[in-house]
Chains A and B, each alone.
Chain A
Amino acid sequence: QVLLEQSGPEMKKPGTSVKVSCKTSGYTFVNYGVTWVRQVPGQGLEWMGWVSGYNGHTKYAENVQDRLTLTTDTSTATAYMELRSLKSADTAVYYCARDPGVFLGGDYFDPWGQGTLVTVSS
């Protein structure tokens, strides 16, 4: 059974950083990538970026590429999403999802983690 288990909710102040983890199990981590998607409460889904589980290569959405870093730890089959210089507009649920793409992003995301609520407020 493929599982992606994310870290717990975070409360952050504007200008600080957050790092969310996504621990995977049930499949060979290096044979897939991990995609990150966020959802502002009550709104739609937004693709943020992709990281390869094989070599750590990344691709970021243009609107967050200056503040976003995606990494992996193959020894623990865990992916990480770090977002810096947080703004109130970054308040959202952040999801990780398994991505079939290893050298480039794949064409679908399945399954998804349970989501991590990040609240940015002064």
Chain B
Amino acid sequence: QSALTQPASVSGSPGQSITISCTGTKDDVGTYSFVSWYQQHPGRSPKLLIHGVTKRPSGVSSRFSGSKSGTTASLTISGLQAEDEADYYCCSYVGSSASWVFGGGTRLTVL
């Protein structure tokens, strides 16, 4: 199963908004609303930000939001803060294999 496609890096200045894309196929992102996003700071475990494409767990800042169009899911971070500098991974259910696949990860730099 090939990894979902994410940009290797994105950057933004404090206060700005950025969007990270996650492109899959009809066998995963395009068909299922089982897309989640994770934030990972260096040396730390991943943390759930978004599940079910758009759902935000309690305790996660409202600055994080998710969406999907066709075979591409997106994570938007508004009002960028220095603490948002981290790696971000998307994840989707894969129907043909009843398994899960992650994106390659995106490194966010806050300028």
Interface size on A, residues (CB 8 A): 22
**Does more than half of chain A's interface fall in helix, strand or loop, or is it mixed?**
loop
Check B52 against A107 for contact (C-beta < 8 Å): yes
Q: Which residue of B lies closest to A63 (CB)?
A: B1
In the complex the two chains form, what is the Cα distance from A111 to B97 in whole Å?
A: 24
A44 touches B52 (CB 8 A): no
Residues of A within 8 A of B (CB): 35, 37, 44-47, 59, 61-62, 95, 97, 104-105, 107-115
Is the CB–CB distance between A112 and B102 below 8 Å? no
Q: Within 8 Å CB of A105, what residues of B?
A: 98, 100
Determine if B45 and A44 form an interchain contact, defined as CB atoms under 8 angstroms apart.
Answer: no
Within 8 A of A (CB), among B29-51: 34, 36, 38, 45-48, 51
Q: How far is the CA of A110 from the CA of B45 in the complex (A)?
A: 11
